[in-house]
Amino acid sequence: MDIHEHQAKDVLKKIGMPVPRGGIAFAPEQAMHEARKLGFPVVVKAQVHAGGRGAAGGVKLCKTEAEVSAFALSLLGRNLVTKQTDANGKPVHRLLIEEATDIAQEIYLGLVLDRKSERIMIVASREGGMEIEELAEDQPDALVRMVIDPAMGLLPFQSRELAFKLGFTGKQVGQFATVLRACYRAFRDLDATMVEINPLVVTGTGDLIALDAKMSFDTNALFRRPEVAALRDPGQEDPREDAAAEHGLNYVGLDGDIGCIINGAGLAMATMDMITLSGGQPANFLDIGGGASPERVVAAFRTVLSDPNVSVVLVNIFAGINRCDWVASGVVQAYQELNLSLPVVVRLAGTNVEEGRRIIDESGLPLISAETLAEAAATAVKVRPAMAA
């Protein structure tokens, strides 16, 4: 789960992170009020769950109330399209109004969960202000990495060592240690999966301040972090993902037109790869999980078909805990209840596969059976143009 910049700054400020003074606005009048309290110039930032806001026109330095009002009017209520969003963008419902900062230097600082080492990894660079992906590709030598031992936690010498590598001296070493400690505490204590300060700036007076902040959290841990769950903004999320979650489904929308209903994340990834290899594009990732009852299969069909771009549905089930006959019954039920007219390709394997295939074959419906994953993917791609025509 992601949260907004202003929320991340509030979280980090409570545990020692220096951040600019600012306020939130949901209307142009409120934006002007916050700007007057801070004093001009101010920076107005669109609050969306996506990076690249500045390049997309979502951030502006404003020197007068008129500029604040005009910029707020241009942002609020519309979608902001950045390089990290799809073509529809993310809706802007709130703005962060902050005091302008005198920037002398920009630093990148991030804490992420490194699954390879099973440790929290610190990634930092003296080249702040850039997206980490661009930095890693264009200037890999500019990145400094450090791993935190979970048994020991963040040790003081690590903060000092990293500060020296980033070129800090004097009082800045202590300030950086405070910043890094706040990031680590937030990561550890709130079940975060990412804490990013980009940029962490050195001001004209030599002080450090977090000019931007991002945080992501482990969704599976929200049950024990109610204070984090309360920060969720459903308006920034795909409504299809929320609807799928209510039925225990894992769904992620993609840009293709072949809808996928699969059990198991690994099999889902393999299926999407096979679709691409066959010349098609998957419309989604959907994992129905281990206990796919007919009702859950119907819910999966409803979720997949909520995407208007879907022109064919591919059902790929390898049943272990699942049962092929349950899945087959769900496919037949969904086809009848939803009055489907688009092609549905079904590949079943595993527990009760013979009974599942019998249900599909004797349903009297135009369902297309496939023996293997490769055959299923190729068939889905093959029947798609006929549907489009």
∠ CA 30-85-238 to the nearest 5 degrees? 80
Was 63 annotated as part of a binding site?
no
212 is in an annotated binding site: yes
Is 106 known as a binding-site position? yes
108 is catalytic: yes
* 199: DSSP letter: E
To the nearest 10 degrees (0 to 180), the angle between helices 28-38 and 65-75 is: 140
Residue 198 is assigned to a ligand binding site = yes
Active-site residue identified among 5, 108, 184, 251: 108
Cα–Cα distance for residue pair 196/198, rounded to 1 Å:
6
What single string gives the DSSP state of each residue in 85-106?
Answer: S-TT-EE---EEEEE---EEEE
Residue 9, annotated ligand binder? no
Q: Which residue is catalytic, options 5, 34, 67, 196?
A: 196
CB 25 within 8 A of CB 72: yes
Our answer to whether residue 196 is catalytic in this structure is: yes
Q: Quickly tell me which residue has 């951030």 as its tokens.
A: 59
From the list 290, 299, 296, 300, the residue with the least C-alpha distance to 351 is 290
Q: Is 101 annotated as a binding residue?
A: yes
178 labeled part of a ligand binding site = no
From edge to edge, which strands make up the β-sheet containing 284-287? 250-253, 284-287, 258-262, 312-319, 344-350, 367-370
Q: Is 250 marked as a binding-site residue?
A: no
- Positions at the binding site: 45, 52-54, 98, 101, 106, 198, 212, 263
Catalytic center residues: 108, 196
The binding site for Mg(2+) comprises: 198, 212
Residues forming the annotated binding site for substrate? 263
Q: Which residues are annotated as a binding site for ATP?
A: 45, 52-54, 98, 101, 106
